[in-house]
Amino acid sequence: MGNGDCNEKIRKCKVSDREYNRNTADILPNWRYIHSTADMNELGEINFRKEEEFKMGYCFTKVLEVSFENAIIKVTEELKKEGFGILTKIDVKETLKDKLDADFKEYIILGACNPQFAFRALQLEDKIGLMLPCNVIVENNNGRVEVSAIDPIASMQAVRNQSLTEIANEVREKLKIVIKNL
């Protein structure tokens, strides 16, 4: 269980140096807020439930018990099984060090693309390329390796095209399989 300091007037809580708004379904990394009358105890502590695999409002995440390097290999293999190739690989830690001389945790962004779905989507909406590819991140959070994949439904909400929503649902299921199989 985690706990935090809470100010009932503004209904925001501080947990692990992050603000958390009790009025929404915001989700903290590694924790999911439980909406119920028992969410806050009499001491003002907010109760959280730790989960190894969870869904945020815009992504699916799983904590792996492997090294950072092995996580990248494993996620690449699982993506390939579902028809995705890696178009880009961005090393955020290296980029921030080079550009800003800033230290950052190990953090890789993989730009994953399933050509069949991308082609179908581009035929329906030529500007959809702005939302491609499907990003998958591998990050080291204090020794815990997490893999997260974008939820294509969340990224497609701005586009009002039912046919695209159907494709996004198909891609979503494939990405959920990838995360589940890690």
Distance, first Cα to last Cα, the chain: 26
3 state DSSP class of 141: strand
| Banded model confidence at residue 106, pLDDT cuts 50, 70, 90 | very high
Q: Edge to edge, what strands does the sheet with 144-150 contain?
A: 53-55, 59-64, 144-150, 134-141, 107-113, 85-91
37-70 confidence digits (pLDDT tens):
234 444 554 444 333 444 567 899 999 999 999 9
Domain limits, the chain: 5-51, 55-181
Q: What is the mean pLDDT of residues 86-92?
A: 98
**CATH superfamily to which 55-181 belongs:** TT1751-like domain (3.30.310.70)
Q: Which of 18-22, 73-77, 96-100, 139-143 has the lowest average pLDDT?
A: 18-22
Spell out the SS3 assignment of 54-89: EECCCEEEEEECCCHHHHHHHHHHHHHHCCCEEEEE
